Amino acid sequence: EELSHEEEFISGVCYLRDQYVGLMIELACIDDGSRWSVLVDHPRVPIGAVSALELPVGRLDDDEERLLGEQIELLEESCGLEISMLNLTNLSKEAYASSNIRNDLGMCPAQGQSGECVKIMYMRKEICKDHLLKMRTMFSEKREQGAIVTLRVVPLNDIWKVSADMKVMCALFLLEKADLYGEYGCHDDDASVSVSVRGGIRMVNSMLSTVKRRGI
């Protein structure tokens, strides 16, 4: 006897958006042990901000070997970086390695409304103090000259304080869970970085707890 199964369809409206990559850069100063990151500074009309600091983003090429996009090109030209998948760590994958979830898509900001997914990648580069100072001076001069989109070099332990970008918070959280600080060695001088990162993570956890209590 054949059994007939009625197909059930789930209706809904969603926004279809391409997948993209958020890039967390750590610049490790070889002279004094300080740690820095690079954020993109540009205006954001939807939130009414003339200056918003965000994690740089790009997209993978067809061969998934390089990152493409205006912000990636700006990073490579201004910071002297060569950004390819060979020198990037997939934080989304590393952080979920010990869990039962296979995170191939990355982070989903609003999976009930949008198909948007962002993979958080991580790159670490050692840099001398003189180069770091030249970069900060150059970016500051470009802002004074009226450039709309610029880069900002920010201490790694302060990026969660100066940016409301969700990708920044996710990158810090995943970096902690992937335990990459331990991989590169966290010395006593880096204690403030670890404490501040954990402070940002505690704030994220608090926000998630509030969302769960309210049933959002």
Report residues of the chain scoring pLDDT below 70: 1-6, 180-216
- Is residue 39 a contact partner of residue 161, using CB atoms and an 8 Å limit? no
Q: What pLDDT is recorded for position 187?
A: 39
Predicted local distance difference test score (pLDDT) of residue 54: 94
Q: What is the percentage of the chain residues whose pLDDT exceeds 70?
A: 80
pLDDT value of residue 129: 92
Task: Give the span between the Cα atoms of 100 and 4, in whole angstroms.
Answer: 34
Q: Residue 13, Cβ neighbours under 10 Å: how many?
A: 5
Q: What is the pLDDT of residue 216?
A: 47
pLDDT at 30: 93
Q: In this predicted structure, what is the pLDDT of residue 171?
A: 92
> What is the pTM (predicted TM-score) of this model?
0.74
pLDDT in tens, 9-53: 777 777 777 788 999 999 999 999 999 999 999 999 988 988 999
Query: What is the radius of gyration, based on Cα positions, of the chain?
Result: 20
Strands (E), the chain: 20-29, 35-44, 49-54, 57-60, 67-68, 89-90, 118-127, 150-155
